[in-house]
Amino acid sequence: MSSSIVLKTSNLTKHYGKIKAVTDMNLSIPEGSVFGILGPNGSGKSTTLGMALGVTTPTSGDFSWFGGEANHQVRKQIGAILERPIFYPAFTAAQNLRITAQIKEVSYDRIEEVLSLVGLNARKDSKFKTYSLGMKQRLAIGAAMIADPKVLILDEPTNGLDPQGIAEIRGIILDIAKSGKTIVLASHLLDEVQKVCNEFCVLRNGRLIHQGPVSETGNTAQAEIEFGAANGKAIELAKELDFVEVLEEQYNGIIRAHLSEGFSAEKLNEIAHSKGLVLDHLVTRRQTLEEKFLEILKNDDSLSK
Ligand code: ATP
């Protein structure tokens, strides 16, 4: 059962009158993945998650959790933060989690465990209202994890956080993923998806336009390289070699280029060396998720013409 599907949606659709929030969504989220749902504001991420979590009624279509219907037992396996959760401001973190534990019918022993998971043990007796935004968000993740669910769903988990807060949340997500949980993360931030997810999909105007592994974006077939040598010799070398297609000659004498298929940075280095030329800069740039994303959008445009 190495590749079971945790959540599968079949033509899942939600229209609000004329507003087509989600149309014919066919998603498959593999067990153990950190799955990014990437799309701009209004593309249907929250609506899709809302339907899957039973908060929003679909107009049509279907979905299944762990291959079956989402009954009470199944829902217990899903921890989710859809919007900023409500905690009691005058209660401490530990007191708030006691309430969550009661609602979820789990032992209070879990409170200490989730507090350490989200790094809030030292501040567990501080009132919620004294927490920073990052701490509030970490507490929300802790609350979602209290019943030790198999799946954690996060909608824009780093919204409004500073870089340190973002890094902390990222660390927690990666820790949770390491423990074998499936994580579904909706985000409009490419960087966030690239840094934590191993699988992703792209939504646009309520439709799914791409799903695949994040690692594919490291494809080197169209790899770009950068190289340089003292005294501007890199451009001379590039002109001599017909497998090097110069894309840009940078101000510092560094060349950005595509290599023909079958040629690598090592080959270039070897040839330079055989000509007595020492490269003082040589970098292979893989395609970033941003470039992949733009390519996906471009291809989608051409399909709709
Ligand atoms: P965001 O990150 O801004 O929340 P999103 O990708 O999560 O964006 P949704 O919130 O799912 O997108 O919204 C998709 C579309 O559905 C938007 O056009 C939104 O205005 C519309 N929509 C969502 N909820 C409702 C509602 N209750 N009534 C009417 N339209 C709605």
In the predicted model, is pLDDT for residue 123 greater than 80?
Answer: yes
Identify the CA nearest to 87 among candidates 157, 138, 161, 158.
Answer: 138
pTM: 0.79
- 187 ligand 1 Cβ < 6 A: no
Average pLDDT over residues 234-256: 90
Provide the 3-class DSSP secondary structure of residue 132.
Answer: coil
**Span from the CA of 173 to the centroid of ligand 1 (angstroms):** 25
Q: Per-domain residue ranges for the chain?
A: 5-216, 220-286
pLDDT value at residue 223: 67
Atom of ligand 1 nearest to the CA of 188: 2
202 Cβ below 6 A of ligand 1? no
Distance (angstroms) between ligand 1 centre and the Cα of 169 equals 25
89 vs 288: CA distance, rounded Å: 41
For residue 1, pLDDT over 50 is answered with: no
CA of 293 to the centre of ligand 1 (A): 21
- Ligand 1: residue of 18, 46, 192 to mutate (most ligand atoms within 8 A of CB) is 46
The 10s digit of each residue's pLDDT in 254-304 is 999 988 888 888 999 999 999 999 999 998 876 677 777 777 877 776 455
Q: Which of 227-241 are b and which e, b meaning 16 or more Cβ less than 10 Å from the residue's Cβ?
A: bbbeeebbbebbeeb
**HSE value, Cβ hemisphere, 13 Å, CA-based, for 211:** 13
What Cα–Cα distance (Å) separates residue 172 from each residue in 116, 261, 301? Answer: 10, 40, 37
The CA distance from 226 to 259, in Å, is: 10
Pocket test for ligand 1, best of 9, 16, 188 (most atoms within 8 A of CB): 16
Is residue 41 a contact partner of residue 188, using CB atoms and an 8 Å limit? Answer: yes
How many other C-beta atoms can be found within 10 angstroms of the C-beta atom of residue 299? Answer: 11
Tell me how far apart the alpha carbons of residues 69 and 247 are, in angstroms, rounded to a whole number: 53
Query: What is the amino acid identity at position 177?
Result: A
Cβ contacts of residue 148 below 8 Å, gap of 6+? Answer: 106, 110
Same fold: 5-216 with 220-286: no
| Token digits of residue 256 | 């950005």
User: What would the two tokens of residue 270 be?
Assistant: 């070897």
Judged by DSSP in three states, 296 sits in helix
User: Is the model's pLDDT at 2 over the cut of 60?
Assistant: no
Whole-angstrom distance, CA of residue 43 vs CA of residue 51: 14
Q: Report the percent of the chain where pLDDT is more than 70.
A: 93
Q: Which of 45, 83, 153 to mutate to test the pocket of ligand 1 (most atoms within 8 A of CB)?
A: 45
Among the listed ranges 21-25, 153-157, 179-183, 251-255, which one has the minimum average pLDDT value? 251-255
Block residue for tokens 């919007």? 83
| 220 has pLDDT over 70 | no
**Residue 207 corresponds to which tokens in the numbers above?**
């439709």
Least confident of 16-20, 75-79, 131-135, 212-216: 212-216
> Is CATH 3.30.70.2070 correct for 220-286?
yes
Cα(92)–Cα(109) distance, rounded to whole angstroms? Answer: 17
Residue 41 CB–ligand 1 contact under 6 Å: yes
Alpha carbons within 13 angstroms on the beta-carbon side of residue 269 total 12
What CATH fold (topology level) applies to the domain 5-216?
Rossmann fold (3.40.50)
CA 104 – CA 226 distance, rounded (Å) = 54
